Amino acid sequence: MNSDFGKKFKRLRETSGFESQRSLSVSSGVSNATIARIENGERIPFPTTLKKLSKCLKVTYEELMTAAGYL
């Protein structure tokens, strides 16, 4: 799939202060399994998921949409 996005996503999670996938999951309401699949490059998240995650990751929705290849 897209391991580049997964790596970038993991860096965003860590630099936003989320030490674990679980902590981001709790804050965002996105399942831990989905976050793991994103980071492992197994899944490109749906736009609705990116919207939830952008609020926690301190980046704009548009930035995540671009990084994921939607824009």
Tokens, residue 21: 């996938």
**Domain regions of the chain by residue span:** 3-67
Residue 1 has pLDDT above 70, yes or no: no
Summarize pLDDT for 18-71 with one digit per residue, the tens.
999 999 999 999 999 999 999 999 998 999 999 999 999 999 999 999 999 999
* 22-39 core/surface letters (b: 16 or more CB in 10 A; e: else): eebbebbebeeebbebbb
For position 3, what pLDDT does the model report?
74
Residues 35 and 13: their CA atoms lie apart, in Å, by 10
Level-2 CATH architecture, domain 3-67? Orthogonal Bundle (1.10)
Average pLDDT for 1-27 = 92
pLDDT score of 2: 62
